[in-house]
Structure 1
Amino acid sequence: NFIKPEQFPYHSPTGFVYDSGDYEAAMRKALGIANYEALREEQKAAREEGRLIGLGLASFTEVVGAGGSNEYDILGLKMFDSAELRIHPTGKAILKLGVRSQGQGHETTFAQIVAEELGIPVGDIKVVEGDTDNTPYGLGTYASRSTPVAGAATAVISRMLREKARKIAAHLMEASPDDLEWEPGKFSVAGSPDKFVTIQDIAFAAYTNMPEDTEYGLEGVHYYDPPNMTYPFGTYVVVVEVDPETGVWKVDRMVAVDDCGVRINPMIVEGQIQGGLTEGFAAAAMQWITFDEDGNCIGSNFMDYLVPTAWETPRFELDETVTPSPHHPIGAKGVGESATVGSPAAYVNAVIDALAHLGVRNIDMPLLPDRVWSAIQDAKNR
């Protein structure tokens, strides 16, 4: 019942418009990496030996990138976001954003967007966030919206400055702007590739040698109001083994295929996915808030409410499909929460699958060993 690629943009009954996707491709890739059919044979053989192996699948999509002002607001505040870009006479740049990194790597990712659009080296781009006295207005970082909204604003303002740079380059080379060709970092005259000016030449001229009808400087701000949300998606496959004597279960494999559109920085994206898969495992396996009869929280610290260490965290096998968002300037979608959304169901489904032949159909999260053990005993005693 997947939405087919040709059905996008897909208008859901609840009014959401899914931008793009190829859900079947992500599932096929995940099943292929996991070698699903062979795992089923391995599971069958293990059961004959009394071992409980389970396979869990979860396919998901998530609505991220809040959100277009025609549909969404917070107490009347519209949910656009901003990017202010200034290129100094030296050719170096400063980018100021309305969002704030919480460890997602904005300083790298957003500098890469500017570098890609203007050809300025990443090391020559300073990114400033989190100072409302010095940065443009924005609603900040939440709902996996930084790249879908502020990233789009960064791409758009970069392109706006590139068009102004085209006019300056034409002035410097005494050519028509329409006769210029752009490649990262420079404009050249069509048919005369040896006649060119660099973005650094243009930046200096923006403060010293401008056309008469053009305002000095090479800077601007853009407020990006997204026309739609973005919809990252993926398929996860988990293999677990359950100890029938104790209810303890361990993850043997976790295959995660994510599609967040165009990846600006693959390493940062993979880091976000690994973090989400770890927290998804924590939610599925160990995180449980308990209260006494008076309503007081008992698990009020990290001795009771557990966070996985490197010892407990499974090994992840990551891969991707790429389905660009058609309305984002660079085709990117959000990814910060995807793995946390999709993975708990995959872990739980794997444990339930390991016990399905016993008649177990559900165990509430978290799947603590005593809960798993009790489910096994209840099934045996039916």
Structure 2
Amino acid sequence: DELEMDPVELRRKNFVTKEQMPYVSVMGWEYDGGDYEGALQEALRIAGYEELLEEQRRAREEGRIMGVGISTFTEIVGAGPGKKCHIAGIEMFDAAELRVHPTGKAILKLGVKSQGQGHETTFAQIVAGELGIPAENVDVREGDTDNTPFGLGTYGSRSTPVGGAATAVVTRKVREKAKKIAAHLLEAAEGDIEYEDGRFFVKGSPDQAKTMDEVAFAAYTNVPEGEEAGLEAVTYYDPPEMTYPFGAYICVVEIDRGTGQVEVKRFIAVDDCGVRINPTVIDGQIHGGLAQGIGTALMEVIDFDEEGNHMNSSFMDYLIPTSMEVPNYELGEFVTPSTHHPLGARGVAESPTVGSPPAVVNAVVDALSPHGVRNVDMPLTPAKVWKLMREHGVEA
């Protein structure tokens, strides 16, 4: 308000532009591309921003307390490149092992572990996309260190950025051996073999091809001279850099004059997590993260009394959002492939929990800004908002 500048314009003036990419921070971290203004523009389009501001103007004339909050953010994920994380005393690689059986079915073993992110689906799809094996024929195994390659595990937002990259790399290793076997079967030079959609063929003769199933069977029954039998590989992937998903969120709230209750009316979320391996899994992770962020902004707090007793140690006292407290999210997709990942993926990670709390808080501050409110600390509970309104002369 003091600058007399729209929040959108303020952000546009301060963005690192896509022309400045790859951008290296003063600490030496290289951002892997990004069109921050483009993501914001998409969020504004979905929201109908100009119409939304007009709706807010009319609401204020009617005495309603309506606010529009914007947040733009980046998240650093994919811990981490050994060349920069060695200070921790450990190389932060991760591992993947892939074996294709004579039946054409495959087993993928990983050093990461799913905690509900959908690894079983996502990583099977990576193998399917790189080898042409149906995803349902890929058995993804995690979590048993006696039977999986050594890895650093799932934390630091590293499943797709590191574990997924390892899966892509090991699958391509297997595909290279499969190419040698296909050349043998087609009686052609390896350099003349091309691969497309699960088929190996001689350049210029796509009608004479060997399927992945045929090559997998030959890997155990008819390998070229000097080549070991079997079709498997393992890789330990050390990422070259972190990856940086980003996004733009717009939140619309309305505040009850009498109770201070904040109701989230709309939430527009545009995320750029690079190439989306499984859009449904990504949308689910965004939905959960937005709910968590709304809870952080409006409800969740740990309180102690003067004697140090925990005041809200159960879900009877510690509130979290339910379906009644969250709106139908309006999601937008923006894709800038990462130059730091073999598939162009950035990962989703905590992005929704990074961008959603400031969007909610900014919306509440915007709603109360005509009354002189410039800041409020989370969580914005009804009691806190009610007290704030009374202190600033807002009548019930």
Q: TM-score range by the shorter chain?
A: over 0.9
Once the two structures are overlaid, the 10-residue window that deviates more, 5-14 or 98-107, is 5-14
CA distance in 2, matches of 1:295, 1:65: 38
Query: Does 2:362 match 1:349?
Result: yes
Once the two structures are overlaid, the 10-residue window that deviates more, 291-300 or 243-252, is 291-300
Candidates 295, 299, 303, aligned match of 1:282? 295
Partner residue in 1 for 2:250: 237
Partner residue in 1 for 2:4: none
Query: Does 2:122 match 1:109?
Result: yes
Partner residue in 1 for 2:10: none
Which string of whole-angstrom CA distances, capped at 9 and with x for unpartnered residues, describes residues 23-75 of structure 1?
Answer: 00000010111111111111111111111110000000000000001111485
Preserved contact between residue 242 and residue 340 of structure 2 (Cα < 8 Å) = no
Candidates 267, 271, 285, aligned match of 1:254? 267
Q: Secondary structure at the match of 2:234?
A: strand
How far apart are residue 143 of structure 1 and its match?
A: 1.9
Query: Does 2:6 match 1:19?
Result: no
Once the two structures are overlaid, the 10-residue window that deviates more, 70-79 or 257-266, is 70-79
How far apart are residue 208 of structure 1 and its match?
A: 1.0
CA distance in 2, matches of 1:183, 1:192: 12
Which string of whole-angstrom CA distances, capped at 9 and with x for unpartnered residues, describes residues 345-371 of structure 1?
Answer: 000110110000000111110000111
Query: Does 2:150 match 1:137?
Result: yes
Candidates 228, 241, 246, aligned match of 1:228? 241
Partner residue in 1 for 2:48: 35
Q: Secondary structure at the match of 2:68?
A: strand
In the alignment, structure 1 segments of 5+ residues that lack a partner are none
Candidates 324, 328, 336, aligned match of 1:315? 328
Q: Secondary structure at the match of 1:127?
A: strand
CA distance in 1, matches of 2:197, 2:374: 57
How far apart are residue 171 of structure 1 and its match?
A: 0.6
Query: Does 2:93 match 1:80?
Result: yes
CA distance in 2, matches of 1:192, 1:302: 65
Which string of whole-angstrom CA distances, capped at 9 and with x for unpartnered residues, describes residues 58-93 of structure 1?
Answer: 000000000001111485221110110000011100
CA distance in 2, matches of 1:172, 1:291: 72
Once the two structures are overlaid, the 10-residue window that deviates more, 21-30 or 75-84, is 75-84
CA distance in 1, matches of 2:206, 2:71: 52
Partner residue in 2 for 1:126: 139
Q: Secondary structure at the match of 1:170?
A: helix
CA distance in 2, matches of 1:173, 1:45: 73
Which string of whole-angstrom CA distances, capped at 9 and with x for unpartnered residues, describes residues 226-255 of structure 1?
Answer: 000000000000111111221111011100
Q: Secondary structure at the match of 2:297?
A: helix
Partner residue in 2 for 1:168: 181
Once the two structures are overlaid, the 10-residue window that deviates more, 9-18 or 339-348, is 9-18
Q: Give the letter for the 1:61 counterpart.
A: T
Q: Secondary structure at the match of 1:158?
A: helix
Which string of whole-angstrom CA distances, capped at 9 and with x for unpartnered residues, describes residues 323-361 of structure 1?
Answer: 010121010011021100110000011011000000011
Which string of whole-angstrom CA distances, capped at 9 and with x for unpartnered residues, describes residues 71-126 of structure 1?
Answer: 11485221110110000011100000000000110000000000000000111100
Which string of whole-angstrom CA distances, capped at 9 and with x for unpartnered residues, describes residues 302-338 of structure 1?
Answer: 1111121212222200011100101210100110211
Candidates 52, 56, 67, aligned match of 2:80? 67
Once the two structures are overlaid, the 10-residue window that deviates more, 121-130 or 303-312, is 303-312
CA distance in 1, matches of 2:87, 2:108: 26
CA distance in 2, matches of 1:166, 1:190: 13
Candidates 229, 234, 240, aligned match of 1:216? 229
RMSD across aligned C-alpha pairs, in angstroms? 1.1
How far apart are residue 196 of structure 1 and its match?
A: 1.1
Q: Give the letter for the 1:139 counterpart.
A: L
Which string of whole-angstrom CA distances, capped at 9 and with x for unpartnered residues, describes residues 1-39 of structure 1?
Answer: 101111111111122211111000000010111111111
Preserved contact between residue 264 and residue 325 of structure 2 (Cα < 8 Å) = no
Q: Give the letter for the 2:310 counterpart.
A: C
Query: Does 2:179 match 1:200?
Result: no
Partner residue in 1 for 2:348: 335
Runs of 4+ displaced beyond 6 Å: none
Which string of whole-angstrom CA distances, capped at 9 and with x for unpartnered residues, describes residues 267-298 of structure 1?
Answer: 00000000000000000010010011122221
Once the two structures are overlaid, the 10-residue window that deviates more, 222-231 or 288-297, is 288-297
CA distance in 1, matches of 2:168, 2:187: 28
Once the two structures are overlaid, the 10-residue window that deviates more, 288-297 or 339-348, is 288-297
Query: Does 2:360 match 1:365?
Result: no
CA distance in 2, matches of 1:233, 1:114: 26
How far apart are residue 148 of structure 1 and its match?
A: 0.4
Q: Which TM-score applies when normalising by structure 1?
A: 0.98
Candidates 46, 50, 62, aligned match of 2:59? 46
Partner residue in 2 for 1:302: 315
Aligned length: 381
